[in-house]
Amino acid sequence: FCVDTTAEIAFGCENMGLTETEIQHRIDNIVTEMNIQKLLGRSIFNLSGGEKQKIACASVSALMPQIIVLDEPTSNLDFEAIEKLKVVLVEWKRQGKTIIIAEHRLHFLRELADKLIILENGRITREFSSEEIKKLSAAETEKLGIRPISLAGVGFLKSASHTSSESIKFENFIFRYKNGEHGIDILDLEVPKNAVIAVIGHNGAGKSTFVRCLCGLENKCKGTVIMDGKTLKTKQRLHECYMIMQDVNHQLFTESVTDEVKLSITDKTISDGEKNKIALEILSQLDLREQSELHPMALSGGQKQRVAIASGIASNKELLIFDEPTSGLDLSHMKQVAYELRQLKAAGKTVFVVTHDPEFIAGCCEYVIHLQSGSVKDSYYLDDEGIGKIRDFFWMVETM
C-alpha cells in the first residue's frame, strides 16, 4: 500500500489507531526478529520479489494477530530467506500463535509442521501428523501429487556435454538504478546458445535486473550482447526476447485466456483461425484448455502463471526469459512447465530461468549463472562438479 518499506510495515498498525510510540516499538521488534534492517527506508518499487515478500510478512507480523495465514510465503524467497522465515515461524509458534500455510514447497516445513492437510477439489483427502510427515518418502509424495518433504534425494538432469557450437556473449554489461545501487556489473560472460539456463543467487543479487537488461527493458543498460555473430542493441533485444515476469499480473491484458495467448503471435501471415488453433494447442499442453474462455484475472495464481508461460511459448522468440516461473505451481504443473522448457530447447530456443526452485532446475536446466551483488560469481554446466556446486548453494542436505 505504501511507497517505502518502513511505512508499509507501519501501515496496518496505523489503521488500528495505535500510538506512534507503540508503532515504532513494534517496527523495531519485527525488524530485529526478521533481521531485515537493510530493507528499511527503501523504495518498494526497487525491491526484488523476495524482498517484497519479507516486507509483507513483517507488516502482518506487526499486527500481532493470533492466527496468521501465509499463502505461498516462499515462492520468491532464496534459501537464506527461507531459513530466516523458519526462525520467525518458530518464534510465532513459541508465542502460541496458530499458523496456516498454503504451500507447494514443503521441504522447509519438514521439522516445523504439526499437521499436513492435502486438499483436492475443495475437499480434504489426506491428513498427516508431524511424525508421519517426516517419514514420507519421495515415492510416497510423488504418488500423493505433492512436492518432496526433503530435497536430499532430488536428482538433476546431468548436462550431456561441455561443448556448444554456438554461444551468447555479454561484454561490459552494466546498469545502475538512480540511487546508484542494486544494479549489475558483468564485464565478460559467455553462455551456451540453445540451452535452458538457470539464473540463481540470493534475493537482491541482481537476477531480475539482469534479465530485464537482457530483454532491452532497461534502455540505459550499457554493454553488448553478441549472438550469431551479431551485436544486439537494446531495441534489437526487445524484438528477439520475450519475458514472463515475476508478477504476471503486469502482463495480462485481454478479456480471455485464448486471446491472451493469441496476443503474443505477431506473425502477420498467420490467420486469426490459425492463431486460435495454436493458442488452444499450447493451452492444452499446459492443462488450461478448460479455462480458455475465462478472463485471465479470474484464475488462480498458478493458472495465471501458466497463461503467461503459454504466451511466451506462442511468441516464438529466439530468447525466452522466465522470472520465477514455478511460483504457485504444484508438482504436476511444475513438471509440465519443465517439459515445455525442454521442448523449447529442442526447437532451437535459448531459455533463461530466474529461480529459487532446485526441484525445477533439476527437471530442465543444463547450465547455471550464479549472480552475487550484481556480478557473476560463477557459471557452469550441470555436470558432476556443477551439480555439487548447486547442491551446496541450495543447502540440499537431509537436515533440511
10-24, 76-90, 173-187, 329-343 — which one is most confidently predicted on average?
10-24
**Residues 356, 200: contact at Cβ < 8 Å?**
yes
Question: 3-state class of 34 per DSSP?
Answer: helix
- Work out the percent of the chain whose per-residue pLDDT is above 70: 96
Task: For residue 299, give the C-alpha cell.
Answer: 484464475
Q: What is the DSSP secondary structure assignment for residue 43, as one 8-state letter?
A: B
> How far, CA to CA in Å, does 123 sit from each of 127, 143, 168?
11, 18, 49
Beta partners for residue 367, in sequence order? 197, 381
Task: For residue 294, give the C-alpha cell.
Answer: 475465462
First to last CA, the chain: 34
Report d(CA 353, CA 197) in Å as an integer.
6
Helix axes 20-34, 79-94, angle to 10 degrees: 120
Phi, psi of 84 (to 5 degrees): -70, -40
Report d(CA 144, CA 157) in Å as an integer.
23
Supply the pLDDT for residue 399: 41
Confidence of residue 158 (pLDDT cuts 50, 70, 90): confident
Task: For residue 260, give the C-alpha cell.
Answer: 491472451
Supply the pLDDT for residue 225: 93
Give the type of residue at 324. Answer: E
Supply the pLDDT for residue 400: 37
Which residue's entry shows cell 475437499? 123
Supply the pLDDT for residue 162: 58
Q: Calculate ∠ Cα 239-363-342, nearest 5°.
A: 40
Mean pLDDT of the chain: 90
- The pTM score is 0.81
Task: For residue 111, give the C-alpha cell.
Answer: 521439522
Residue 397, pLDDT above cutoff 60: no
Confidence of residue 340 (pLDDT cuts 50, 70, 90): confident
- What mean pLDDT is predicted for residues 288-300? 94
392: number of Cβ within 10 Å = 10
Supply the pLDDT for residue 176: 87
- What mean pLDDT is predicted for residues 31-50? 88
pLDDT tens for 221-241 read: 888 899 988 999 888 898 899
The residues near 91 (Cβ < 8 Å, ≥ 6 apart) are: 33
Residue 204, pLDDT above cutoff 50: yes
Supply the pLDDT for residue 35: 86
Question: 3-state class of 274 per DSSP?
Answer: helix
Chain-centroid distance, C-alpha 12:
27
Give the type of residue at 357. Answer: D
**Of the ranges 108-117, 189-198, 213-222, which one carries the lowest mean pLDDT score?**
213-222
Report d(CA 171, CA 191) in Å as an integer.
12
- What mean pLDDT is predicted for residues 9-37? 94
Chain-centroid distance, C-alpha 334:
12
